[in-house]
Structure 1
Amino acid sequence: MSDATIRPLSASDRAEWGRLWQDYLTFYKQDLAPEVTDGLFERLLDEGGHFGLVAELDGRLVGLVHSLPHASTWSLEPTCYLEDLYVDESLRGGGVGRKLIEAVSAEADRLGCYKIYWHTEEGNARARQLYDRIGTLSDFVKYDRP
């Protein structure tokens, strides 16, 4: 398991978080306007909605995770959407991703969430190796409407 420390995102993390966020967007072939990224960072710092956690190793950020607890129509308790998860490519498979998901689980438990859910691309085989060990693959199909 990785020696990375998982902690809440802080305002002083902006530059390093931005580097990881851009790597994540590049991985998923996305290009966002700077104001979207700026708005996201502010939301992650503002308690009451999204929350952001980071993995730190040897004084630098090596991973991030963004989650959104929300009400559910299927339960009186909230649920938690693990929206974004990224680990520096050089450290994948070393336990950082698992530690980030475990930290989301702990925060979701603290908030009284009854479950955590997330999505990934079908072809993201490296991530799915982890997800298949810690989660249950759903039968649901996701649709988007731009």
Structure 2
Amino acid sequence: MEIEIRQANLNDMTEVSRLFNEYRMFYGQSSDVEGASRFMEERMNNNESIVFIAQCIKDRKERAGAAQAVNEGKYNEAEGQAAGLVQIYPSYSSVSMGPIWILNDLYVDANYRQQGIARKLMQAVMKQAADHGILRITLSTAVSNQQAQALYESEGYAQDQSFMYYECSVKGGML
């Protein structure tokens, strides 16, 4: 099995929504595929996020038919299941006066873990960031998620020692 990393589009919404829903459930949220789909479609339609997916490629012969399937909006069915996703939120650094990316969501389907897919997704993000003049990529993860921390550190990310981060829930806001 070959894995291809590419930027997702609206034709990928079924797989993107499935993975995003699983990601939310990983962090203790209730399943809500419809809500996940609505959220992701809004982000992508409004150019508020960039989503990369890891797509399973079955074999070279089947890839030939994939180009036609893309044009027909059936890319996922032709190529196979999406194994993972990463979602980036573009932002800016006022101090550096330039663009930054916030790597907000990284998830690999449980059936595809321990195969280097998360690393490939992160490397694809880094390449795109370099190609687009992004100054830096920031991310956060649960304190208990040591596996993710090890991956991030092995890819050159360092824990911030300069700033403390705070958050406050907005009264009346949804959590």
Equivalent residue for 1:4?
3
Of structures 1 and 2, the one scoring higher in RCO (CA 8 A, sep 6+) is 1
Aligned residue pair count:
144
TM-score normalised to structure 2 length: 0.73
Cα deviations across residues 80-132 of structure 1 (Å, max 9, x unaligned)? 11111101123223211111111111221222111111000010122122112
The match for 2:147 among 126, 132, 135 is: 126
Matches within 5 A, 1:105-124: 105-124=126-145
Task: Return the index of the structure with the highest Cα Rg.
Answer: 2
Aligned residue type for 2:160: S
Retained in 1: the 8 A contact 2:21–2:36? no
After the TM superposition, which of the residue ranges 72-81 and 19-28 deviates more from structure 2? 72-81
% identity of equivalent residues: 31
- Counterpart of 1:142? 165
Paired position in structure 1 for 2:15 = 16
SS in 1 for 2:16: helix
Change in Cα spacing, 1:22 to 1:35, as seen in structure 2 (3 Å) is closer
Letter in 1 for 2:124: A
Partner residue, 1:87:
108
CA distance in 2, matches of 1:100, 1:65: 7
Runs of 4+ residues deviating >4 angstroms: 31-37
Q: How far apart in 2 are the matches of 1:88 and 1:113? A: 28
Give the counterpart letter for 1:142 in structure 2: Y
Q: Structure 1 stretches of 5 or more lacking a match? A: none
Q: Is the 2:101–2:138 contact (alpha carbons within 8 Å) kept by the matching residues of 1? A: yes
Bigger CA drift: 38-47 or 83-92?
Answer: 38-47
Q: What is the CA distance between 1:141 and its match in structure 2?
A: 3.5
TM-score by length of 1: 0.86
Structure 1 residues 27 and 35: CA distance shift in structure 2, 3 A: closer
What is the distance in 1 between the residues matched to 2:31 and 2:135? 32
Superposed displacement of residue 46, structure 1: 4.2
Structure 2 segments unaligned to the other structure (5+ residues) = 59-79, 170-175
